[in-house]
């Protein structure tokens, strides 16, 4: 055994795991994420699932990817370009090599570089993918991972195929050693997971250790690296994806409101996992119902909300298009309803596995008639929890359907979630009327303008509501003036919410008010990193990120006035921009990208640099 190597400190590292769907890259990535999170790093991850249908193993369409960034500070994004690429076969190499940083590590399984596999990956016949010029300026570690794994397990009485399946732990071992991370977390996890099949646990643990030894002894690495813990807010953490966070937020909100949760839904990528998450919590008397389609999903939720329960529906863009008519019913009957749209690439089926922010206008206007609904947006995976509760607060307090926009990037991505204490969560006080005296269906609370919620079954309050225009008593009214008044009242009720939400925050540059970069939703992290960079460089670049889009925070107009140039960065052709322009008549500079992923720091600076 050779000398222990010196350990270099790094402030952040980006690793991309890539291989066939069968190679367990999501699991490997999650294990590395868990281990580094446990050691105190800030970690942000993003899986990259193969598009729509699973393709032939060994081909590029069959590749499943997972990228993560961990650092000694808030990293905000899974990173743009990997420092390390784990490529479990030639296709994975070919698909990702161009992204790897100069002198970055490329860890591959040399056993997979057979002629057949190389061909499948789409390389020309005569090229050697690992040949120097094809991996220029990269440090390639071509390890015989499969054979080593099988060799390591020779004493186990089980078929080769099952042995080979452990190979991803060999890779994990290499990375644990390389970044000086203890395998304890993963070993414990394995023991738990295979409690009933201890042999499988032993096999994987053995391979894991073998991987670490290999890294240490193979001489591939000149040094080890270490990323110090970040100084995260003290407290208890867990890692959540945005969709898990939405699910947890709904169940938490139901507890806070003291109302059982009803989720009426229908599967659709990338929103399905919200339903799958919520469906777990039967111990909270949650009723998560998979209906026959999106229309039935929202309608069943409306039926539950009318019945006096805390109701929600979740979907993605095409589903929102289908729900539009029913949402109008929730608007005119003024029923509390949380609607979560995990956006994906459109139009139509579009790019279902890629992220996009192109449903904002649909959220604002995708219904017939004057049909105002508050629109909110979450900016990070963990923020999905808090914004779900905020959406619930508004829905229940103002008796209105509310749309919360997230997207595939948030829904599938993960980050450490500081578990809040119940007492630090907002109180969602809900009062359902029980006093029959003088009840009128559309009488309103003078402050919130909300009408009262009556739970069917309550004695003495039997009443009828519906989609036809009503007067204050709840009677159908065809009176033109009444309609005019009701339309304006519904609009006013929603607009008034501006008095009950947080101001728009600015990450203000101490170096002047030249540029304000405005964003909303999942672009937060990448904009944030760019703005940090500019501010460090002494530039007058500030950031404002919208969590409430309709109504806008009250101070929005004043904020906009302050800056020489307003840049609006969106993953669409410009949807927030026209809302700001129409409302505040302010000039805006578009920074748009519709490529299924948030901005890289470079894509932002390419525009900003021309403006400074």
Ligand X SMILES: Cc1ncc(C[n+]2csc(CCOP(=O)(O)OP(=O)(O)O)c2C)c(N)n1
Which residues bind to ligand SF4, rule: CB under 6 A? 53-54
DSSP state of 514: S
Stretch binding a copy of itself (CB under 8 A), from 29-37, 169-177, 214-222, 341-349: 341-349
Q: Which two tokens stand for residue 517?
A: 């970069």
Asked if 17 and 67 touch (Cβ cutoff 8 Å), the reply is yes
Q: Which two tokens stand for residue 72?
A: 């000694």
Q: Return the number of the residue (53 or 582) whose C-beta is nearest ligand SF4.
A: 53
DSSP string, 392-426: HHHHHHHT-EEEEEEEHHHHH-EEEEEPPPGGGSP
Q: Return the number of the residue (101 or 455) whose C-beta is nearest another protein.
A: 455
C-alpha distance from residue 572 to each of 373, 435, 542, 556 (Å): 21, 49, 22, 22
Q: Return the number of the residue (290 or 353) whose C-beta is nearest a copy of itself.
A: 353
C-alpha distance from residue 584 to each of 280, 501, 521, 577, 591 (Å): 45, 19, 21, 10, 19
Binding residues for ligand X, total number by CB under 6 A = 8
Q: Is 232 in the site for another protein (CB under 8 A)?
A: yes
Scored b (16 or more CB within 10 A) or e, 290-301 reads: bbeebbbbbbbb
Nearest C-alpha neighbor of 407 from the set 478, 323, 343: 343
Q: Which parts of 478-537 interact with another protein (CB under 8 A)?
A: none
Q: Is 267 in the site for ligand X (CB under 6 A)?
A: yes
Q: Shortest Cβ distance from residue 282 to another protein (Å)?
A: 4
Q: Shortest Cβ distance from residue 37 to a copy of itself (Å)?
A: 29
What angle separates helix 184-193 from helix 198-217, to the nearest 10 degrees? 160
* Cα–Cα distance for residue pair 400/378, rounded to 1 Å: 19
Q: Which parts of 278-297 interact with another protein (CB under 8 A)?
A: 279-296
Given another protein, a copy of itself, ligand X, none, residue 604, with its beta carbon under 5 to 8 Å by kind, binds none
Given another protein, a copy of itself, ligand SF4, none, residue 460, with its beta carbon under 5 to 8 Å by kind, binds another protein
Say if residue 154 is exposed, middle or buried (CB neighbours under 10 Å; 0-12, 13-18, 19+): exposed
Q: Return the number of the residue (54 or 191) whose C-beta is nearest ligand SF4.
A: 54
C-alpha distance from residue 445 to each of 441, 442, 481, 555 (Å): 12, 10, 21, 25
Instruction: Write the binding mask 287 to 326 for ligand X: x where contact by CB under 6 A, - elsewhere.
Output: -------x-----------------------xx--x----
Stretch binding a copy of itself (CB under 8 A), from 88-96, 188-196, 344-352, 501-509: 344-352
Given ligand X, ligand SF4, a copy of itself, none, residue 435, with its beta carbon under 5 to 8 Å by kind, binds none
Residues composing the chain: 612
Q: Shortest Cβ distance from residue 267 to ligand X (Å)?
A: 4
Q: Which parts of 444-473 interact with a copy of itself (CB under 8 A)?
A: 466-469
Q: Which parts of 449-488 interact with another protein (CB under 8 A)?
A: 456-468, 475-476
Q: Which two tokens stand for residue 315?
A: 């979907």
Q: Which of 425, 507, 594, 611 touches a copy of itself (CB under 8 A)?
A: 594
Q: Shortest Cβ distance from residue 410 to another protein (Å)?
A: 19
Q: Which parts of 138-197 interact with another protein (CB under 8 A)?
A: 189
* Cα–Cα distance for residue pair 587/284, rounded to 1 Å: 49
Binding residues for a copy of itself, total number by CB under 8 A = 68
Give the residue closest to ligand X by C-beta: 268
Q: Is the link from the previous residue into 270 a cis peptide, with omega within 30 of 0?
A: yes
Q: Which parts of 126-155 interact with ligand X (CB under 6 A)?
A: none
* Cα–Cα distance for residue pair 430/56, rounded to 1 Å: 53
Q: Which of 95, 261, 268, 301 touches ligand X (CB under 6 A)?
A: 268
Given a copy of itself, another protein, ligand X, none, residue 110, with its beta carbon under 5 to 8 Å by kind, binds none
Q: Return the number of the residue (52 or 609) whose C-beta is nearest a copy of itself.
A: 52
* Cα–Cα distance for residue pair 546/576, rounded to 1 Å: 9
Q: Which of 13, 329, 387, 531 touches another protein (CB under 8 A)?
A: 329
Q: Which of 209, 243, 371, 530 touches a copy of itself (CB under 8 A)?
A: 371
Element (H, E) at 377: strand 375-377
Q: Is the link from the previous residue into 347 a cis peptide, with omega within 30 of 0?
A: yes
Q: Shortest Cβ distance from residue 183 to another protein (Å)?
A: 15
Q: Which of 40, 144, 557, 578 touches another protein (CB under 8 A)?
A: 40
Q: Is 328 in the site for ligand X (CB under 6 A)?
A: no
Instruction: Write the binding mask 48 to 87 for a copy of itself: x where contact by CB under 8 A, - elsewhere.
Output: ---xx--------x--------------------------
Nearest C-alpha neighbor of 330 from the set 298, 307, 359, 308: 298
Calculate the dihedral angle through the C-alpha atoms of 91, 96, 101, 104, rounding to the nearest 10 degrees.
-30
Q: Return the number of the residue (369 or 460) whose C-beta is nearest a copy of itself.
A: 369
Asked if 530 and 604 touch (Cβ cutoff 8 Å), the reply is yes
536 Cβ contact list (under 8 Å, min separation 6)? none
* Cα–Cα distance for residue pair 220/212, rounded to 1 Å: 12
Q: Return the number of the residue (52 or 180) whose C-beta is nearest ligand SF4.
A: 52
* Cα–Cα distance for residue pair 265/291, rounded to 1 Å: 6
416 Cβ contact list (under 8 Å, min separation 6)? 37, 42, 43, 232, 237, 238, 239, 382
* Helix residue spans in 121-228 (DSSP H): 145-152, 160-164, 167-178, 184-193, 198-217
Q: Shortest Cβ distance from residue 294 to ligand X (Å)?
A: 6
Q: Shortest Cβ distance from residue 192 to another protein (Å)?
A: 9
Q: Return the number of the residue (50 or 144) whose C-beta is nearest ligand SF4.
A: 50
Q: Shortest Cβ distance from residue 277 to ligand SF4 (Å)?
A: 22
Given another protein, a copy of itself, ligand X, none, residue 292, with its beta carbon under 5 to 8 Å by kind, binds another protein
Q: Which residues bind a copy of itself (CB under 8 A)?
A: 51-52, 61, 316-318, 320-322, 324-325, 328-329, 331-333, 345-354, 356, 358-359, 361-362, 364-371, 466-469, 478, 480-481, 483-484, 487-488, 490-491, 572-573, 577-579, 581-583, 585-587, 593-597
Q: Which residues bind ligand X (CB under 6 A)?
A: 266-268, 294, 318-319, 322, 349
């Amino acid at each position: 055994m050779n000398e222990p190597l010196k350990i270099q400190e790094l402030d952040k590292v980006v690793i991309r795991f890539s291989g066939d769907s069968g190679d367990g890259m999501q699991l490997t990535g999650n294990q590395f994420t868990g281990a580094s999170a446990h050691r105190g790093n800030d970690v942000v991850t993003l899986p990259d699932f193969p598009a729509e249908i699973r393709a032939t193993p060994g081909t590029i369409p069959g590749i499943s990817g997972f990228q993560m960034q961990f650092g000694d500070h808030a990293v905000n994004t899974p990173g743009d370009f990997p420092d390390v690429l784990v490529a479990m076969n030639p296709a994975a190499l070919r698909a990702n090599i161009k992204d790897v940083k100069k002198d970055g590590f490329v860890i591959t399984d040399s056993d997979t570089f057979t002629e057949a596999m190389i061909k499948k990956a789409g390389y020309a016949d005569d090229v050697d993918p690992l040949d120097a010029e094809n991996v220029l300026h990269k440090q390639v570690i071509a390890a015989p991972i499969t054979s080593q794994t099988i060799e390591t397990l020779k004493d186990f009485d089980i078929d080769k195929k099952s042995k080979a399946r452990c190979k991803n732990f060999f890779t994990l071992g290499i990375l644990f050693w390389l970044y000086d991370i203890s395998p304890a977390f993963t070993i414990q996890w394995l023991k738990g997971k295979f409690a009933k099949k201890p042999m499988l646990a032993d096999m994987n643990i053995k391979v894991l250790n073998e991987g670490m030894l290999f890294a240490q002894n193979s001489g591939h690495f000149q040094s080890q690296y270490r990323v110090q813990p970040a100084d995260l807010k003290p407290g208890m953490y867990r890692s959540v994806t945005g969709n898990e966070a939405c699910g947890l937020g709904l169940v938490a909100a139901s507890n806070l409101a003291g109302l059982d949760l009803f989720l009426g839904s229908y599967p659709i990528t990338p929103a399905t996992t919200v339903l799958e998450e919520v469906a777990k919590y039967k111990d909270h008397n949650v009723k998560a119902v998979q209906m026959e389609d999106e229309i039935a999903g929202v309608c069943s939720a409306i039926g539950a909300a009318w019945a006096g329960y805390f109701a929600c529906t979740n979907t993605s863009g095409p589903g929102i298009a289908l729900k539009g008519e029913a949402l109008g019913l929730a608007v005119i009957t003024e029923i509390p309803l949380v609607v979560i749209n995990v956006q994906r690439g459109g139009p139509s089926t579009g790019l279902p596995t890629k992220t996009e922010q192109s449903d904002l206008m649909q959220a604002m206007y995708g219904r017939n008639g004057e049909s105002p609904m508050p629109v909110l947006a979450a900016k990070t995976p963990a923020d999905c929890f808090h914004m779900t509760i905020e959406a619930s607060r508004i829905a229940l307090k103002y008796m209105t359907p509310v749309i919360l926009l997230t997207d595939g990037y948030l829904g599938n991505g993960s980050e450490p979630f500081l578990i809040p204490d119940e007492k630090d969560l907002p109180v969602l006080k809900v009062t359902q009327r029980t006093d029959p005296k003088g009840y009128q269906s559309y009488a309103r609370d003078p402050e919130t303008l909300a009408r009262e919620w009556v739970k069917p079954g309550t004695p003495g309050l039997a009443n009828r509501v519906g989609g036809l225009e009503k007067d204050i008593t709840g009677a159908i009214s065809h009176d033109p003036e009444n309609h005019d008044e009701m339309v304006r009242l519904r609009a006013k009720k929603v607009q008034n919410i501006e008095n009950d939400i947080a101001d728009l925050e600015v990450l203000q540059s101490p170096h002047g008010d030249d540029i304000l970069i405005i964003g909303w939703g999942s672009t937060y992290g990448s904009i944030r990193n760019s703005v940090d960079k500019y501010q460090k460089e002494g530039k007058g670049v500030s950031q404002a990120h919208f969590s409430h889009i309709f109504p806008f925070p009250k101070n929005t107009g004043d904020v906009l006035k302050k800056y020489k140039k307003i840049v609006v960065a969106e993953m669409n052709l410009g949807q927030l921009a026209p809302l700001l322009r129409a409302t505040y008549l302010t000039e805006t500079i578009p920074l748009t990208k519709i490529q299924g992923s948030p901005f890289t720091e470079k894509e932002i600076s390419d525009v900003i640099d021309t403006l400074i």
